[in-house]
Amino acid sequence: MTNLTLTDTTLKLGELNLDKSQFMLPKKVVVLSARMSYKYQEVNGEQVRTDEPSKLVCSVQDADKIKVLKEMNIAIEELKAITLEIHDNLDKITKLAENDGLLDKTVELVNPQVRLMWNMTRSNWSGVKLVANDLKMTGD
């Protein structure tokens, strides 16, 4: 881990990993929704979307919590979803996400990290999100 200086003006808070030991991270999650975000490039002074994916953004829920609630016949819709972003291995992930192939699937996160989440509406940091390198499909 690289030490950062307190006077570093190039530091991007959104890319700074928080201490995972302070959070109860789920081992497996169920994907509730998934959408691909694409990179943009400037063309004639305008930002134009490319076909190159930049990340997959998902709403997920802890698979263990869902299992327990379903066994107790309690609705899971009231649970607050967790925001998950996948930044690496996008070729594989894009194929999995096609035609809603990830929805309601249980997946295991590869190298999950906790980062600050930017609130576009309020233009500030509010909450945290999970960021993972990859997903492993499970048989659940």
Question: How would you classify residue 64: left for phi > 0, otherwise alpha for psi between -120 and 50, otherwise beta?
Answer: alpha
Whether residue 43 is contained in a domain is answered as yes
Whether residue 4 is contained in a domain is answered as no
Helix (H, G, I), strand (E, B) or coil at 21: helix
Tokens of 82: 């967790």
Task: Give the closest residue to 34 by CA, choosing from 102, 93, 133, 96.
Answer: 102
Is the CA virtual torsion 40, 42, 43, 44 positive or negative?
Answer: positive
Maximum Cα–Cα distance for the chain, whole Å? 58
> What is the CATH number for 58?
2.40.50
- Output the tens digit of pLDDT for each of the chain's 140 residues: 577 788 888 888 888 888 889 999 998 999 998 888 888 999 899 999 888 888 889 999 999 999 998 899 888 887 889 999 998 888 778 777 777 778 888 999 988 999 989 888 888 888 899 999 888 888 66
Task: Give the closest residue to 83 by CA, choosing from 136, 21, 126, 140.
Answer: 126
Task: Give pTM, 2 decimals.
Answer: 0.80
Give the residue numbers spanning the domain of 25. Answer: 14-137
Total structural domains within the chain: 1
**First-to-last C-alpha distance (Å) of the chain:** 34
